[in-house]
Amino acid sequence: MRTKIIIGNWKMNKTRQEAHDTVAAFTELVKNVDGVEFGFCPPFVYLAELASSSSISIGFGAQDVFWAGSGAFTGFTSVAMLQDIGAKYAIIGHSERRGRFGKLEVPASTVGSFAETDETVNLKLKACLAGGIVPIVCCGETLAEREAGNTDSVIATQIAGALDGIVEADMGPLVIAYEPVWAIGTGKVCDSAEANRVCAMIRGCLPASIQATTRIQYGGSVNPGNARELFSMPDIDGGLVGGASLKAEDFAQVVLAAV
């Protein structure tokens, strides 16, 4: 039986006080919840203090990570640094890091600044697996790719690229998040049956020895109104939650939907 995992991705939101207030309010709402793994990926500037201040089993993680252990890489953060401050997770290859936006909120001319590729996802995944950080590897198709009938091939390519050269025995901590790009930040949600179909397809892309144990989340406008139906699907093992994780009450309801 796979334990559901619900992770809130705050993206670039909240002040320091708002971050602490949200975690405190959420903690009170879920203090008696059992049988579900949950946590937050806040902005880097708050990660260390939030990870050290939580009073219950809330996991904290980073929204990105770099593959090198140290060096002249201005602005990046290593796996060892994440471990040092008590982080548990790292999101890898989020569509926004790849420059693939469901809702473009930056000038189109700047999209090249978001340059994640299958190769860099692979390097980051290897670093996390070697360094003891739980990797949450994102995959998903754009609206144009879906309308062209390329959903499965696009995602299969992303998964193959992410796992290239990684030994099956090392993949145990792996979490995958299926995030249809067209549903991220748009309020659109993939139909639960279709989301489950794609998650099952992703499972089939994994080595046979880890298919039954690897957790596959759904992400893309998950909220208190649709979480229970999504999480009831046999191949959806939780959610990577954006907007709904910014409010303690909403995120708590999403977590409770997985119980």
Residues catalogued as catalytic: 94, 179
Q: Are 5 and 38 in contact (CB under 8 A)?
A: yes
Concatenated DSSP letters for 116-169?
--HHHHHHHHHHHHHHTPEEEEEE---HHHHHTT-HHHHHHHHHHHHHTT--GG
Q: Which residue type sits at 150?
A: N
Concatenated DSSP letters for 3-39?
PEEEEEE--S---HHHHHHHHHHHHHHHTT--SEEEE
For the beta carbon of residue 84, count every other beta carbon within 10 angstroms: 10
